[in-house]
Amino acid sequence: EDQVTQSPEALRLQEGESSSLNCSYTVSGLRGLFWYRQDPGKGPEFLFTLYSAGEEKEKERLKATLTKKESFLHITAPKPEDSATYLCAVRGIEGAGSYQLTFGKGTKLSVIP
């Protein structure tokens, strides 16, 4: 069974204070690791897909990296508008015909001005 654990559950940062969110996973044959952003009361918004260890993706102040056991979402010089819950998900070779994503419970990020 695929599993995703995100830490910390919640993170408060001062504006400009860089940090990282962690996503640890166990999966039978990783076919993709996905990062999402979710604002309160809204659906998750897709950010990145990573497929293999060593891969990195960037978007504005966000950078996602991947190892064989975990992924990090690095946030550089965050702004208040980066406040959201960040979700991590994996796709393995099992589960719902391999279409299924297994989601973590998320990290709620608050950036204080």
The residues of the shown chain that bind another protein, judged by CB under 8 A, are 31-32, 34, 36, 41-46, 49, 87, 89, 91, 96-97, 99-101, 103-106
């994503």: which residue's tokens?
101
- Residue 101 CB, shortest distance to another protein, in Å, is 6
Q: Which is nearer to another protein, 62 or 101 (CB)?
A: 101
Which of 113, 95, 112, 103 has the alpha carbon at shortest distance from 38? 103
Shortest Å, Cβ 61 to another protein:
20
CA–CA gap between residue 107 and residue 57 (Å, rounded): 19
Of 15 and 39, nearer to another protein (C-beta) is 39
**Minimum distance from CB of 50 to another protein (Å)?**
11
The Cα–Cα gap between 90 and 18 comes to 25
- Minimal CA–CA distance to 88: which of 29, 26, 1? 26
